């Protein structure tokens, strides 16, 4: 049997400042425990989206690959305190994934330490 993401299956990402590297951000998938990192919220979010695309592609080819693996409780708890990631950042990340480049990377300085975004994994796998 092949790992296929059902249509409408949504994962939630929580984005927070790195505790290991000052000035860096971590984007963390709650359902797969995958992470992306970057020097800003946008970079971390895009890095996780790219990692998820790879994971979903590999999972579609390899039924032995475990796709779902819940993130640790501490990460899930962060999500409970998170504010929604602004739609502008979600849209810019989508454009970057589609290959659009920016002369100057848009910056976003969050007012909150924990942000979250919901992602339809079936759409991301395309």
pTM to 2 decimal places: 0.87
User: Are the C-beta atoms of residues 37 and 47 closer than 8 Å to each other?
Assistant: yes
Name the residue among 124, 84, 105, 101 with its Cα closest to residue 42: 105
Residue 48 lies in a domain: yes
Determine the average pLDDT of the residues in 98-111. Answer: 75
Inside any domain, residue 3: no
Say if 104 falls within a structural domain: yes
Range 98-126 average pLDDT:
78
Domains of the chain: total: 1
Average pLDDT, the chain: 87
Task: Give 80-117 as a DSSP string.
Answer: HTPEEPPHHHHHHHHHHHTT---SS------SSS-EEE
The confidence score (pLDDT) of residue 36 equals 97
For residues 29 and 123, which has the higher predicted lDDT (pLDDT)?
A: 29
Residue 14's domain spans which residues? 10-121
Indicate whether 4 belongs to any domain.
Answer: no
> Is 18 contained in some domain?
yes
The residues pairing with 30 across neighbouring beta strands, listed in sequence order, are none
Q: Is residue 1 part of a domain?
A: no
């Amino acid at each position: 049997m092949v790992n296929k993401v059902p249509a409408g299956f949504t994962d939630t990402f929580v984005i927070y400042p790195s505790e290991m590297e000052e000035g860096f951000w971590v984007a963390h998938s709650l359902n797969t425990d995958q992470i992306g990192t970057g020097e800003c919220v946008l970079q971390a979010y895009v890095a996780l989206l790219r990692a998820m695309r790879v994971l979903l592609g590999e999972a579609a080819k390899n039924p032995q690959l475990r796709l779902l693996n819940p993130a640790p409780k501490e990460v899930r708890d962060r999500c409970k305190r998170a504010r929604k990631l602004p739609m502008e950042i979600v849209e810019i990340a989508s454009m970057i994934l589609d290959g659009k480049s920016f002369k100057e990377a848009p910056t976003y300085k969050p007012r909150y330490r924990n942000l979250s975004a919901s992602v339809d994994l079936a759409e991301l796998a395309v």
